[in-house]
Amino acid sequence: MKLWNNTIILEFLLLGISEEPELQPFLSGLFLSMYLVTILGNLLIILATISDSHLHAPMYFFLSNLSLVDMCFVSTTVPKMLVNIQTQSRVITYAGCIIQMYFFLLFVGLDNFLLTVMAYDRYVAICHPLHYMVIMNPRLCGLLVLVSWIMGVLNSLLQSLMVLSLPFCTHMEIPHFFCEINQVIHLACSDTFVNDMVMYFAVALLGGGPLTGILYSYSKIVSSICAISSARGKYKAFSTCASHLSVVSLFYGTCLGVYLSSAATHNSHTSATASVMYTVITPMLNPFIYSLKNKDIKGAMKRFFRGKQ
């Protein structure tokens, strides 16, 4: 901690996943590999959807936006961790911590909203197939993405500004590999009741609300699929939403698993390790899930690479 003109300049320490020196080269190689795979996989999804006219549809418009958000999401935390490992420094400046927190909240919120929008898209496609192109017109698709961004920006801005108002009096250690808002708030040397209430309210409203919308959409989808008489028709209808359902299960399953386990064990290092699931592994797996289970994506990627040869 340094004093300059009566202003406290703070530097936080990110303790990371492990403090064992012998594990640092392994962790560096592992996370660098996962980061590069995530960027490459999501970039290929974006290029395939842009370059192939067969994928100029609402479903793939939302998918390309999800891939963009996943690239930004993983870039918010992993590069800083890799730099700290390579330089053998755990320091992150106060400003850097707030900025990282802001973008982390923004992109995790956007992931949440876009998955909800994609669930609505699948609901319209299966429950109202004859009116799909009329309902999911370009204007509505653009509006849904815009609203997702606005809500994400407002939420992350509000919570980051509230953290800015907190006083931090000493050199702080964050038992995580990024500036996770809950960890940072509880390092403040003042009452954090209001911050806690806003954070829990945001989780309940902006997390529980979209999850409820997804569950409602899939309840209607399941009802519509059950009403189809032929087995082939049921399989075809289900296959159109199988990839999205897998991604939703992975994202919400890992998020709930992390926070329920951390609440039960109260172990910060365990929580940091578990957080890797939804902050790194989920964005890395999303392109593979959509590529392996979607013939259109696989066909577009083949045509994309043939065109580059």
Phi-psi group of 7: left, alpha or beta (phi > 0 → left; psi -120 to 50 → alpha; rest → beta): beta
pLDDT of residue 171: 63
Across the 309 residues of the chain, what is the mean pLDDT of every consecutive 10-residue run?
A: 47 86 91 96 92 88 96 96 92 94 96 96 94 95 97 96 88 87 88 91 90 95 89 84 89 79 61 83 90 78 71
pLDDT of residue 7: 45
Bridge partners (DSSP) of residue 100 are none
pLDDT of residue 221: 94
**How many domains does the chain fold into?**
1
pLDDT of residue 136: 96
Alpha-carbon gap, residue 41 to 47, rounded angstroms: 10
pLDDT of residue 260: 67
Look up the domain containing 116 and give its range. Answer: 2-308
Helix, strand, coil tally for the chain in percent (to 5): 80, 5, 15
CATH code of the domain in which 115 resides = 1.20.1070.10
Alpha-carbon gap, residue 120 to 144, rounded angstroms: 10
